[in-house]
Chain A
Amino acid sequence: MKNQSSNMKRIGLGIAALVLLGFPLIASTRYQVHIVNMAGLYILMSLGINLAMGYCGQINLALGAFMAMGAYTAALLNTRMGVPIWINMPLGMILAGITGALIALPMLKVKSHYLALVTIGLAETINIIIVNETWFTEGPLGISGIKMPELFGIPIDGAERFYYLVLICVVVGYLAARQIMNHHTGRAFIAIRDSDVAARAMGINVAKYQIMANAICGVYCGVAGVLYAHMTTYISPDIFEFKTALFVLTMTMIGGMGSLAGSVVGGLALPLTLEYFRAFKSWQLVGFGLAIMLVVLFFPGGVIGIARRLEQVRGLRLPWARKPEKPAQTEASHVP
């Protein structure tokens, strides 16, 4: 039984890997590939916010600012000094990570909706600086002429080739997040979310882990920013506004806060669905809003939450809903 299910899992993974690797070949237009690339960037940001907010319980609405740190690092270094993506990537990650850590500092003091406002305020402030310091950032016009990357002389130009770069980043990002959650750092995040009072008594340095969670969130968004700059070759400040943070937050909630698989599901589902309904213009966004309200009011655990519930009720096993370490026994069996 166990062997069979692990075989099934292997076959499923194999098929998934084939689809992922072959996607640019089966996509009918380059634009489709571009949309999926964008979804990949959203997945990265969603993984980041899931670690900080879903697991560690820290409200953070400054995702756009983190992404901007990565994107502007890449754009400025590339257009002014010709620095390639391979160097911009670690630099962007570091700068975005530092921004994440700095934004975490008020969190040590301010809580809940007050904190939501502080993070919005900090993100807005960074955005205002980008818009106004034209000498450095080109202001509202943005920066154009960013070069697409090149690897050993092979240009990674065009959505199809860039797709593989995004794919590698998403897979590495997902696996790294999973490792973090499987070890002490991840457990400390959850402990802080569940009860920061008890976490302190367990010797957990709450401040340190809160800062770390937000720095990691910053790094993920920074990666997305660097990729974005080199992928679209043009960036402007409006992309990093508050609404980007909301968008990422929404897809994370729809997928499932506190579930890494939820980030993948939400990060794919939301941009693709919206793209599908693009022809409907404003109605598309009305539908988007209604969908959010329905999810929040009726399925607060998101898609992964629904999957988990099905698992428990029907004994269904959905491969992408990560199960608890052992299948849950019925609660009634050991009530005294």
Chain B
Amino acid sequence: MNIVSIFIQTLIGGIGIGSLYALVALGYSMIYRSMGLVNFAHGQIFMIGTYFGIIWYRGMVLGLQLPYAVAFILAILLNMVLGLILERIFRPLANYDLMLMLLGTIGLGYVLENMAVIIWGAEGFAVNNPLGNTPIMISGVAVLPWTLLLIGVSALLMLGLNVFLAKAKIGKAMRAAAADRETASAMGIPVNGTNALTFAIGAGLAAAAGMLAAPIVYVNPAMGAAVGLKGFAAFILGGAGSIPGAIVGGLVFGVLEAVSAGFISSAYTKGIAFVIMIVVLMIRPGGIIGEVTVDKV
């Protein structure tokens, strides 16, 4: 195998992981945009979403073993309901300062993670891959079919989200509420309603990411913390609150990780990604796509 195909292989792997980060980062971004809330429990929401789907696939509820696609849809729907509930709880938090948000949502993270341990056990499990573990060869490049599916479905979800925000009436209302809460509410847009929907969509995207990740990761209650941190990194890296920023941030972070693992040092994968991220933020303190705010006197 030549270096070029190894590189392409690494790149595809990175894009795959990066798409997952992007889906998680989108949740951070949408909630931040509409409520000004940085939700540090989003990783745990991702983890719960994964369980919400996998329990149907693995027959953990009433012995029902549903097809993966059905479990995928159920995961999204159940997690959206969870999102609606959580939005109601955290509504007051949006007006607090960052430290309180940080702490309140971290508290929620503890609750979710340990509830998962209580209900589903701390050990976790591997989920068998519905598309199998044999890579297919495309002109000398070996790829898991699941990776391709993952990239495809993520791309569709992101495209769908953008179309929804741009075209649908509710989507436009959500954008308006995010841009200017007061004006939007004066124009008769139910801001609390759009916020709830935003939170629900964020949670739904996280569940989708979780179901796409499940066959290639080890599902356990602690997975939320790690993915949450990377999703947060992607969200910040792209520029907090920017939809394209979250996507770009996620992909950049995923590819950075994969490339540094494959070509530099697998032990330092996480470290290199973080160092690059810090450097980027030092150069562009508002993220890759975020606007740089001017200090007003």
Q: Mark B106-123, 1 if CB is under 8 A from A, else 0.
A: 111111111101100010
B137 at the interface (CB under 8 A from A): no
B108 contacts A289, CB within 8 Å?
yes
A316 at the interface (CB under 8 A from B): no
A282 contacts B102, CB within 8 Å?
no
A21 at the interface (CB under 8 A from B): no
Task: Give chain B residues whose Cβ lies under 8 Å from the Cβ of A59.
Answer: 98-99
Q: How far is the CA of A291 from the CA of B236 in the complex (A)?
A: 28
Residue of A nearest to B267 (CB): A132
Q: How far is the CA of A105 from the CA of B101 in the complex (A)?
A: 24
Residue of A nearest to B271 (CB): A128
Task: Give chain B residues whose Cβ lies under 8 Å from the Cβ of A131.
Answer: 267
Residue of B nearest to A127 (CB): B271
Binding site secondary structure of chain B: helix
Determine how close the nearest CB of chain A comes to the CB of B216; give it in whole angstroms. Answer: 23
Task: Give chain B residues whose Cβ lies under 8 Å from the Cβ of A197.
Answer: 295, 297
A260 at the interface (CB under 8 A from B): no
Q: How far is the CA of A293 from the CA of B44 in the complex (A)?
A: 15
Of the candidates B102, B104, B108, B110, the one whose C-beta lies within 8 Å of that of A285 is: B110
Q: How far is the CA of A152 from the CA of B274 in the complex (A)?
A: 46
- Chain A CB within 10 A, most for which of B99, B115, B281, B287: B99
Contacting B at CB under 8 A, from A280-317, are 282-283, 285-286, 288-293, 295-297, 300
Task: Give chain A residues whose Cβ lies under 8 Å from the Cβ of B233.
Answer: 117, 121
Q: Mark B255-297, 1 if CB is under 8 A from A, else 0.
A: 0000000000001101100110110011001110000000101
Interface size on B, residues (CB 8 A): 44
Task: Give chain A residues whose Cβ lies under 8 Å from the Cβ of B51.
Answer: none
Once A116-B102, A257-B99 are accepted as A-B contacts, the answer to whether A293 and B111 lie under 8 Å apart by CB is yes
Of the candidates B89, B107, B275, the one whose C-beta lies within 8 Å of that of A125 is: B275
Q: How far is the CA of A286 from the CA of B221 in the complex (A)?
A: 13
Q: How far is the CA of A285 from the CA of B282 in the complex (A)?
A: 36
Which of A169-177, A245-253, A328-336 lies at the interface?
A245-253
Q: Given A106-B282, A124-B274, 10 more contacts at CB 8 Å?
A: A117-B233, A117-B277, A121-B233, A253-B103, A286-B118, A291-B107, A293-B107, A293-B108, A296-B93, A296-B100
- Pairs A–B under 8 Å by Cβ, sample size 5: A59-B98, A128-B270, A253-B103, A289-B112, A296-B104
